[in-house]
Chain A
């Protein structure tokens, strides 16, 4: 009797040891190597944004001068404003469209549900350059002049699958008996959606929106092809600056963008955590 629990404990411990990746030789070294490879360039970039000199590889003292340059540069400000406006509109519109798509396809057994799911998520697997060229050719073919509007349209379209996935996941996790209970308690389908489904989808909507926002904010390839001569976004502007020569100003903009997206990701994770409790 008394040794039964202890032997069960032993089995659990043994299983844990077998499944534990730390048991492999060299695990520690490989993981440290990977972390350095991932983060060293970023740390380096951020550090040199505070360099006093013009070099991005030789340290000559601490200063905020490149940040001052960035904030004083009207072109950068215009590009950044464009990027943020495009990202906000693209994220909002694509999230709304993705919400509709998710609600329509949540029951995959419904006619065409599976096909709709594949059609919606397939763009994630298409090489971005293909989407970029296709968008460009399409806009030229139908005669829309390239500029702010074409960037916006392209961003809305490629953001849809990114917004769709978290909403869809959240919707699938919802207890199907909740809308049924609402209907049972005399709520019409529209009111059941507004009062029950939509509030419970909020965490999925927020993370879908944030994902779409970040994807839109740092897109380069598609934007570069459909931007045309006039319009520019922050990634396009940074690329343009690089062609004129590397200065810590580029480091400063990049560090600012890094800070902004880190905050967004943290907020998104926090929302996910709160949403998970429900």
Chain B
């Protein structure tokens, strides 16, 4: 394969077209807005000596029928946003609408929304059946219909045989299913899920991901899912909102978020990224020339306005960093292998290129997986076409 530091323009425009087509399709199917927040702010301890702004001027639209994920590190404000949607937290400024209805000042019991709580919050003095029936009873649904719905929910989450057990006698995964059934039984317009998988072990978590996704498709209810686990978010979501320090960083499909991060934070938080400091050394037409210490100049298409001399960050995923035997093929730079880590399905190399550290990941047994390097080796480093993202520092 040719290694080249320049990006092919045709490829990137191809992809752009692809994504517009996809989003047009999505818009036709889901043009109803399920939930919307506008200019939302949340300040804790307002008026005190140390006010804390958990959410800052937040705008977000969530489509009907969508599996939407709020993703960010702990303390970023994602749970606060979920709690505001559920009515458990008041908002300091802005509005919050659910299917067009302004719910900003409504208490939780007046909102067409149900929640799956992080620790499930099942009522310990009630059986599984009574837990699931609770919401329907409070809505005043007739007993016969309630019983039918409960049976259907029990089947939906495969808990029929546990219907008369108390929550305390069940495992985490089973409680999780009951919590889901209880929240889905009243057929809410929105289902809020507050890190519901975090209390489960890895195997169960992966299984529940698939079940949750299937449940969302089956029920057609809009899911808003909060997590700090980017892998979970990428695996399940139709769209993801990345949040950091109370600010919305980026909204997009998992692919858009992973392949086209718009900020250094998103590139760093979602998956792993090599971040290189670069200087804009030339601008010709729709392309910029970027100078990186220790590498040949890189040419790439521009997505936002740049000026000559500006310092930017380049982001490149470890799996898209190409390693070659030094001197044998043309590369954009050279590096020295510092460490080699065997990961089972891949090998990870830690590289030093000048003063910059890089991580490269090569699949084992892949088409090109025959090359292997040891610590101390000099290697040539190249970038796969289309793999470099320019981020404003």
- A and B are partners in one complex rather than unrelated chains: yes
Q: Is the Cβ of A180 less than 8 Å from the Cβ of B88?
A: yes
Determine whether A24 belongs to the interface, using a CB cutoff of 8 Å to chain B.
no
Determine whether A269 belongs to the interface, using a CB cutoff of 8 Å to chain B.
no
Q: Is the Cβ of B124 less than 8 Å from the Cβ of A200?
A: yes
Q: Which of B114, B118, B119, B122 contacts A184 (CB 8 A)?
A: B114
Residue of B nearest to A187 (CB): B138
Task: Give, as a whole number of angstroms, the nearest-CB distance from A115 to chain B.
Answer: 19
Number of A-B contacts (CB under 8 A): 62
Q: Which of B113, B121, B125, B183 contacts A180 (CB 8 A)?
A: B121
Q: Is the Cβ of A185 less than 8 Å from the Cβ of B114?
A: yes
Q: Which residues of B contact A196 (CB under 8 A)?
A: 123
Residue of A nearest to B108 (CB): A183
Residue of B nearest to A183 (CB): B108
Between A and B, 7 residue pairs with Cβ closer than 8 Å are: A177-B121, A180-B121, A183-B88, A185-B109, A185-B186, A200-B125, A278-B125
Q: Is the Cβ of B109 less than 8 Å from the Cβ of A183?
A: yes
Determine whether B135 belongs to the interface, using a CB cutoff of 8 Å to chain A.
yes
Task: Give, as a whole number of angstroms, the nearest-CB distance from A200 to chain B.
Answer: 6
Q: Which of A180, A186, A195 contacts B117 (CB 8 A)?
A: A180
Residue of A nearest to B117 (CB): A177
**B residues 102-160 touching A (CB-CB < 8 Å):** 107-109, 113-115, 117-119, 121-125, 134-135, 138-139
Q: Is the Cβ of B123 less than 8 Å from the Cβ of A186?
A: no
Q: Is the Cβ of B125 less than 8 Å from the Cβ of A186?
A: no
Q: Which residues of B contact A200 (CB under 8 A)?
A: 124-125
CA distance A191 to B124 in the complex (A): 17
Q: Which of B107, B118, B125, B135 contacts A185 (CB 8 A)?
A: B135
Nearest 3 interchain pairs by C-beta: A185-B135, A177-B121, A181-B121
Given contacts A180-B88, A278-B168, contact A186 B121 (CB under 8 A): no
Q: Is the Cβ of A175 less than 8 Å from the Cβ of B115?
A: no
Q: Which residues of A contact B114 (CB under 8 A)?
A: 184-185
Q: Which residues of B contact A185 (CB under 8 A)?
A: 109, 114, 134-135, 138, 182-183, 186
Q: Is the Cβ of B135 less than 8 Å from the Cβ of A186?
A: yes
Q: Which residues of B contact A195 (CB under 8 A)?
A: 134
Q: Which of B88, B124, B168, B186 contacts A186 (CB 8 A)?
A: B186
Task: Give, as a whole number of angstroms, the nearest-CB distance from B136 to chain A.
Answer: 9
CA distance A199 to B118 in the complex (A): 23
Q: Which residues of A contact B87 (CB under 8 A)?
A: 183-184
Task: Give, as a whole number of angstroms, the nearest-CB distance from A236 to chain B.
Answer: 42
Determine whether A10 belongs to the interface, using a CB cutoff of 8 Å to chain B.
no
**B residues 172-189 touching A (CB-CB < 8 Å):** 182-183, 186
Contact surface of A with B, Cβ cutoff 8 Å: 175, 177-178, 180-188, 191, 195-196, 199-200, 277-278
Residues of B within 8 A of A (CB-CB), count: 25
Q: Which residues of B contact A175 (CB under 8 A)?
A: 119, 121
Task: Give, as a whole number of angstroms, the nearest-CB distance from A195 to chain B.
Answer: 8
Task: Give, as a whole number of angstroms, the nearest-CB distance from B118 to chain A.
Answer: 8
Q: Is the Cβ of A178 less than 8 Å from the Cβ of B121?
A: yes
Q: Is the Cβ of B124 less than 8 Å from the Cβ of A184?
A: no
Task: Give, as a whole number of angstroms, the nearest-CB distance from B342 to chain A.
Answer: 21
Q: Is the Cβ of B134 less than 8 Å from the Cβ of A182?
A: yes
Q: Which of A184, A191, A199 contacts B108 (CB 8 A)?
A: A184
**B residues 53-87 touching A (CB-CB < 8 Å):** 86-87
Residue of A nearest to B185 (CB): A185
Q: Is the Cβ of A277 less than 8 Å from the Cβ of B168?
A: yes
Given contacts A185-B138, A186-B138, A187-B134, 18 further A-B contacts (CB under 8 A): A177-B117, A177-B119, A178-B124, A180-B108, A181-B117, A182-B138, A184-B86, A184-B88, A184-B108, A184-B114, A185-B114, A185-B183, A186-B109, A186-B186, A187-B138, A188-B109, A195-B134, A200-B125
CA distance A186 to B87 in the complex (A): 12
Q: Is the Cβ of B113 less than 8 Å from the Cβ of A184?
A: yes
CA distance A66 to B139 in the complex (A): 63
Task: Give, as a whole number of angstroms, the nearest-CB distance from B319 to chain A.
Answer: 35
Q: Which residues of B contact A199 (CB under 8 A)?
A: 125
Residue of A nearest to B86 (CB): A184
Task: Give, as a whole number of angstroms, the nearest-CB distance from A95 to chain B.
Answer: 20
